Amino acid sequence: MTIRIPFVDLNLQHQSMKTQLQQAMQAVFEKGDFILGQALKDFETAFAAESGTKYGIGVASGTDAIALGLQACNIGAGHEVILPANTFVATLIGVLRAGAKPVFVDCDPKTALIDLEAAARAITPHTKAIIPVHLYGQMVSPQQLLDFADRYKVLIFEDAAQAHLAERDGYRAGSVGIAAAFSFYPSKNLGAFGDGGILLTKDADVAQKMTRLRNYGASSKYYHTEAGTNSRLDTMQAAVLLEKLPYLPNWNSDRLNIAQQYDAELAPLNRLGIIPMQNQSGTGHVYHLYVIKIDDSCVLERQQIQEQLAAVGIQTGIHYPIPCHLQPAFTDLGYQIGDFPQAEKQAKQILSLPMYPGLSHSQVKEVVAALASILSGEQQQLLCI
């Protein structure tokens, strides 16, 4: 089947700035500073400033930003870290790699963001930090997080992999806690031409330790003060990101406009069990993903809807089909089916619709029209039985 509306189309943005990107990469090629070069330093400074914080330390992936970032914040063995069950597995892997114990909690059914009341019940004397995942492009309320951290004396370590320049309560993603991890996977709101990540922090000590950890634990060349690793955002990727960064606010604005159109077009389908995830942060939501729930009242299950959309050339995704606590690799953590009912229910109902800068109004209408046609056709069949 020919794909008429892809889930993501990176070619639109890349073609529009093809010459700039080629020139930026050529400049790195000619200078030859492929590792820890000038473009990396410039990007780290620029992205930290845009995000409302002080330091940026580029690493090889978003996963490394979490794992090494937690270590840089002195979080490790003997510490518990609270995180939502409904996140990408990288959040969990980062906690485990840091040597800490992950403690899952459930999510808010309306937003899919971490349930802070559940997090409060999970606090123990060993709780060192909470990882609020700014899921789908919407921040967990910074004010609520700061109140939580103050009340329970824990650190806030943001997972902002899907929330580049997202805003809420007067804060930007990456400026709320002691540190924040971002991913530059190609399909992110700000994406590289491969893997990449960054840790943002306002704390000079955390920044210095992270700088050592990403580069073999070296405080100076051939002098290693801790057991670090090799995880550096290479200069070529940083050059690409630096060229893209000025365009990010407009790309985010385009995503918001697309989401608002989806909201309006989907409104008549709410009564049929198609419920968009709730936006509680207004224009601060950057919509890395546009996610709907196929409610229990819907006449079709998600798989049927996804298959029928694919049959007419419309790609969709599921973020994520299996909660972390039920992944086969982590059964030793001791969690079971039923432990986090909202996350488990959501995993069976959510569906991500096409979302990327440049997705046209007519394409949004086509996606919703196809969805409406699938549902109305099924309803007609039920009425005829």
Please indicate, yes or no, whether residues 24 and 130 belong to a single structural domain of this protein. yes
What's the whole-number mean pLDDT along residues 358-375? 98
**232-271 pLDDT, tens digit each:** 999 999 999 999 999 999 999 999 999 999 999 999 999 9
User: Domain limits at 280?
Assistant: 248-384
Among the listed ranges 56-60, 92-96, 277-281, 373-377, which one has the minimum average pLDDT value?
Answer: 373-377
Which residue type is seen at 359?
L
| 222 and 297, same domain (yes or no) | no
pLDDT in tens, 187-229: 999 999 999 999 999 999 999 999 999 999 999 999 999 999 9
* pTM: predicted TM-score of the whole model, two decimal places: 0.97
Structure-block tokens of residue 46: 């620029």
pLDDT at 114: 98
Domain shared by 217 and 252, yes or no: no
CATH code of residue 150: 3.40.640.10
* Residue where a domain stops, chosen among 228, 246, 264: 246
> 283-311: per-residue pLDDT in tens?
999 999 999 999 999 999 999 999 999 99
**What are the tens digits of pLDDT across the range 68-105?**
999 999 999 999 999 999 999 999 999 999 999 999 99
Residue where one domain finishes, among candidates 214, 246, 278: 246
pLDDT digit string (tens) for 306-350? Answer: 999 999 999 999 999 999 999 999 999 999 999 999 999 999 999
Taking 90 as the threshold, does the pLDDT of residue 281 lie above it? yes
- Please check whether residues 208 and 318 belong to one and the same domain: no
Which pLDDT score, from 0 to 100, does residue 1 have? 67
Q: Do 263 and 197 sit in the same domain of this protein? A: no
Considering its fold, how many domains does the chain have in total? 2
Omega into 320 within 30° of 0, i.e. cis? yes
Per-residue pLDDT of 150-181, as tens digits, reads 999 999 999 999 999 999 999 999 999 999 99
pLDDT for 385: 37
> Does 40 lie in the same domain as 151?
yes
pLDDT for position 377: 80
Do 59 and 179 sit in the same domain of this protein? yes
Q: List pLDDT tens digits, range 103-115.
A: 999 999 999 999 9
Q: pLDDT tier at 383 (50, 70, 90 boundaries)?
A: very low
What does each C-alpha distance from 10 to 46, 256, 310, 352 come to in angstroms?
23, 17, 20, 17
Asked if residue 384 has pLDDT above 70, the reply is no
| Residue that is last in its domain, among 246, 267, 299 | 246
**381: pLDDT strictly greater than 60:** no
Residue 372 pLDDT exceeds 80? yes
Report the phi/psi class of residue 120: left, alpha or beta, with left for phi > 0 and alpha for psi in -120 to 50.
Answer: alpha
CB 72 within 8 A of CB 213: yes
User: What's the CATH code of the domain at 354?
Assistant: 3.90.1150.10
Has residue 5 been placed in a domain? Answer: no
d(CA 250, CA 359): 13
- Tell me the pLDDT of the chain averaged across its residues: 97
pLDDT above 60 (res 380) = no
| Active site residue ranges | 188
Q: Is residue 4 part of a domain?
A: no
The Cα 40–Cα 211 span in angstroms is 13
297 assigned to some structural domain:
yes
The answer to whether 167 touches 134, Cβ cutoff 8 Å, is no
DSSP secondary structure code for residue 72 in this structure: H
Q: How confident is the model at residue 35 (pLDDT cuts 50, 70, 90)?
A: very high
How deeply is 109 buried, as exposed, middle or buried, from its count of CB atoms within 10 A (0-12, 13-18, 19+)? middle
Residue 6: band (very low, low, confident or very high) from pLDDT cuts 50, 70, 90:
very high
Cα–Cα distance between 276 and 290 in angstroms, integer?
8
